[in-house]
Chain A
Amino acid sequence: MSSIEFVKLEKVYKGLSDFCAVKGVDLQINEGEFVVFVGPSGCGKSTLLRMIAGLEDISGGELYFGDRCVNDLSPKERGIGMVFQSYALYPHMSVFDNMAFGLTLEKGSRETIKEKVEEVARILQIDHLLDRKPKALSGGQRQRVAIGRAIVRQPNVFLFDEPLSNLDASLRVQMRIEITKLHQRLKTTSIYVTHDQVEAMTMADKIVVLNQGRIMQVGSPLQIYNEPANTFVAGFMGSPTMNFIDVEAMDEQLSLRTGQANRRFLMPFRHSGPATLGIRPEHIELQPQADAIPVETRISVVEHLGNETLLYLATDLCEQPLVVAVSGEMAPEIGSELTIYLPLERSHLFDAQGDAVKRQGSASVN
């Protein structure tokens, strides 16, 4: 087990035109932590993970495992175990041989290898499959074997690159819980790449949100949800995504750009100039509230999800429709008028650069 530290880590892909996939990433990962990298496709999650694994050269900066700089060490010397998205099981070997491969290369004795593999197989409940070839396994079973192969060598760090993305929804939930349990049991430092926010929120001790090769925010799942550091994180995490409304801020007051431009609202932020107000669909109210901005809207689309219903509301506040999540029992009519209330207490304010403005005190409608 070991802690990991990134110091100004960079990755440049050389080619006809150089492409910088990871740009000066600083990060501290504590021993035993379960860290999840999330971000949109192409943001450099896999690249970063492969740099930690030692499968990709580090173009700049340093990578430390504990206090050892591992920049020039091979994956084996770093002591990592990795689970690939495609499982990457050796097709010609039995499950047992797949899991034992790394140990045989280390020239361990036959009995200890057998013992270790069988123990891990028991933990992962694949001990009855040891003689089978990978092609005779289901997706979930293959994934277990891939995980087993990674943990059987007792690595310092586990790396997962979207390991569940090939599984169907219910199996994904099940495996997610099992990986979490496994981590609680082994307490090995783990880094998990995904673009599924539910996985990120449920599994992580610490979420790292990446965009275009840069870290956007690092924090616990609730921190990321409750205090997004910028519009990118606010918009990326949470489903359906946060509503953004352009506003004008004057010290502690806020005015809408259109419609009720003359009305001022007292807000729990101190900021002046153009800004963006962010509010999550699940926080918008249909009943009059103190400290809330009333907005006249018209229902344009209704999505029934069963447990809740999403309303897409046309307003003159912004181009995009505002999204509101209401209880599943509600049966609103398309085209009908609806007044909604945006509680300022639960909203977020971002400055012109998109960075969050720190919240203070409480607010009241003027």
Chain B
Amino acid sequence: MKALKRRTGQVLFALAVLALLIYTIFPFYIAILTSLQGGEGSFYLLQDFDFSNYVSVFREQPFFLNILNSALVSFGTVAISLLIAVTASYALARVHFRGRTTLLLTVLGVSMFPQVAVLSGMFELVRLLGLYNNLGSLVLSYTVFSLPFSVWILTTFMRGIPKDLEEAAIVDGATPWQIITRIFMPVLWPALVTTGLLAFIGAWNEFMFAITFILSNEQRTVPVAISMISGGSQYEMPWGPIMAASVIVTVPLILLVLVFQRKIVEGLTAGAVKG
């Protein structure tokens, strides 16, 4: 009786897992499937490996350049926002000054604005700085959007670092910069990876700024480039090439996540760092 009960429990659990798996993986399965099928085929089953879609993605447009642009913009965003976020959160977590809490709340408040709300303002800024149709405009706007989150997360983590640790470094003769780079950054490494990766994903997938600030094909980033893929006629959606392109640009993300997987979990779970 007991065994039966346990059996049923196991079966139900397995079914639930299966349902969840199908639910999450199905869209990707369809994407990969579609990308590998030239012309018509069964919609649910893979019949042949046909890489013509992948070839056409690179032939029809400067897709390689688009990937390079995306990488450039994403890495630039990550580097700049991490640098600013680390130094800012050090100040917010460790230096006493008037209006610290207000500033922190403002930072969080800023991140509540929807992108559209700042689009026109950002456009003015970009024009003012002469960055129109330049990848710099994207790095600028993505940094603005990833900073609040990064600053907030890193400030929380930095507050978790025992004060003694910092003071030990001061007694050892370290300057604030050395404290940040030699003590805090290594200790905060999981948090840095997590926030950096989130900034990267945000920048890699962003569409609205990318289509607004960039004009020419050669400067485009991947999401916009994919949306520009057109079929034989106006009424035909070229699903094959679109899915092929999507698969291509998702692979780097998946690789990144797999590489840093352990660190991300640490970063998301470990609130404080034990001394």
A86-B170 in contact (CB<8A):
no
Contact at B178–A76, with CB atoms within 8 Å? no
Q: Inside 8 A of B274's CB, which chain A residues have their CB? A: 91, 135
Residues of A within 8 A of B171 (CB): 53, 55, 75-76, 80-82, 102, 150
Determine if B275 and A89 form an interchain contact, defined as CB atoms under 8 angstroms apart. Answer: yes
Least CB distance, A56 to chain B, in whole angstroms = 10
Q: Per a CB cutoff under 8 Å, which of A76, A84, A90 touches B183?
A: A90
Residue of chain B at shortest CB distance from A146: B168
Tell me the residues in window 144-165 of chain B with beta carbons closer than 8 Å to chain A beta carbons: 162, 164-165
Q: A53-B171, A105-B174 are in contact. Are A84 and B164 (CB under 8 A)?
A: yes
Q: Is A65 engaged at the interface, CB distance under 8 Å to the other chain?
A: no
Q: Which residues of B are found within 8 Å of A76, using beta-carbon distances?
A: 170-173
A window 182-217: CB within 8 A of B: none
What residues of chain A lie closer than 8 Å to B173, measured between beta carbons?
A: 74-76, 102, 105-106
A128 CB–B CB distance under 8 Å: no
CB contacts (< 8 Å) of A75 on chain B: these are: 170-171, 173
Q: Is the CB of A101 within 8 A of B172?
A: yes
Given contacts A86-B162, A102-B172, A105-B174, contact A91 B187 (CB under 8 A): yes
Question: Chain A CB within 10 Å — which of B165, B167, B172, B178 has the most?
Answer: B172
Check if B9 is an interface residue, CB within 8 A of chain A.
Answer: no
B38 at the interface (CB under 8 A from A): no
C-alpha spacing A81/B174, complex, angstroms = 13
Any A CB within 8 A of the CB of B14: no
B172-203 contact mask (Cβ, 8 Å, vs A): 1 or 0: 11100010001100110100000000000000
Which one of A90, A106, A153 has the greatest number of beta carbons of chain B within 10 Å? A90
Majority secondary structure of chain B interface residues (helix, strand, loop or mixed): helix
Contacts of A153 in B (CB 8 A): 172
Using Cβ atoms and an 8 Å threshold, which residues of chain B touch A82?
Answer: 167-168, 171
B contact residues, range: 20 to 34
Interfacial chain A residues near B183, Cβ < 8 Å: 90
**Which of under 10, 10 to 19, 20 to 34, or 35 or more describes the interface residues of A?**
20 to 34
A308 to chain B, nearest CB (A): 39
Q: Is the CB of A90 within 8 A of B170?
A: no
Restricting to A89-105, which residues have a CB under 8 Å from any CB of B?
Answer: 89-93, 101-102, 105
Asked whether any CB of chain B lies closer than 8 Å to the CB of A352, the reply is no
The listed residue (A86, A92, A106) touching B187 by CB distance below 8 A is A92
- In the complex the two chains form, what is the Cα distance from A229 to B184 in whole Å? 47
Cβ contacts under 8 Å, A81 to chain B: 171
Q: Report the Cα distance A88→B171, complex, angstroms.
A: 11
Q: Does B12 contact A (CB under 8 A)?
A: no
Q: Is the CB of A91 within 8 A of B273?
A: yes
- Provide the bound-state CA to CA distance between A224 and B112, in Å: 63
The answer to the question of B30 belonging to the interface, with a C-beta cut-off of 8 Å to chain A, is: no
A76–B171 Cα distance when bound, in Å, is 6
- Chain A residues whose C-beta falls within 8 Å of the C-beta of B178 in the assembled complex: 105
Kindly state the separation between the CA atoms of A80 and B173 in the bound complex, as whole angstroms. Answer: 10
Residues of A within 8 A of B168 (CB): 82, 84, 88-90, 149
Q: Is the CB of A55 within 8 A of B170?
A: yes
A87 lies within 8 A of chain B by Cβ: yes
- Residue on A nearest B174 in the bound complex, by CB: A105
B172 / chain A contacts, CB cutoff of 8 Å: 76, 101-102, 105, 149, 153
CA distance A151 to B165 in the complex (A): 17
Residues of the A chain whose Cβ atoms lie less than 8 Å from the Cβ of B182: 101
Closest beta carbon of chain A to B166's beta carbon, Å: 9
B169 interface residue (CB < 8 Å to A): yes
Of A84, A91, A92, A102, which is within 8 A of B167 by CB?
Answer: A84
Chain A contacts of B174 at CB under 8 A? 101, 105
Most buried by A among B162, B164, B170, B174: B164
- The 8 A CB mask of B231-275 against A (1 = contact, 0 = none) is 000000000000000000000000000000000000000000111
Q: Which residue of B lies closest to A101 (CB)?
A: B172
| Per-position binary interface string of chain A over residues 91-123, scored 1 when its CB falls under 8 Å from any chain B CB and 0 otherwise | 111000000011001100000000000000000
Closest to B96 in A: A14
Q: In whole Å, how far is A346's beta carbon from the nearest beta carbon of chain B?
A: 44
Q: Given contacts A76-B173, A80-B171, A81-B171, are A86 and B186 in contact (CB under 8 A)?
A: no
Please list the 8 inter-chain residue pairs (A to B) with the smallest Cβ-Cβ separation, ordered nearest first: A88-B164, A102-B172, A76-B173, A88-B168, A92-B186, A84-B164, A75-B171, A82-B171
20 pairs, CB–CB < 8 Å, chain A vs chain B: A53-B171, A74-B170, A74-B173, A75-B171, A76-B172, A76-B173, A82-B171, A84-B167, A85-B164, A86-B162, A87-B275, A90-B187, A91-B187, A91-B273, A91-B275, A101-B172, A101-B182, A102-B173, A106-B173, A135-B274
Binding site for B on A (CB under 8 A): 53, 55, 74-76, 80-82, 84-93, 101-102, 105-106, 134-135, 149-150, 153
Partner-A contacts on B (CB < 8 A): 162, 164-165, 167-174, 178, 182-183, 186-187, 189, 273-275
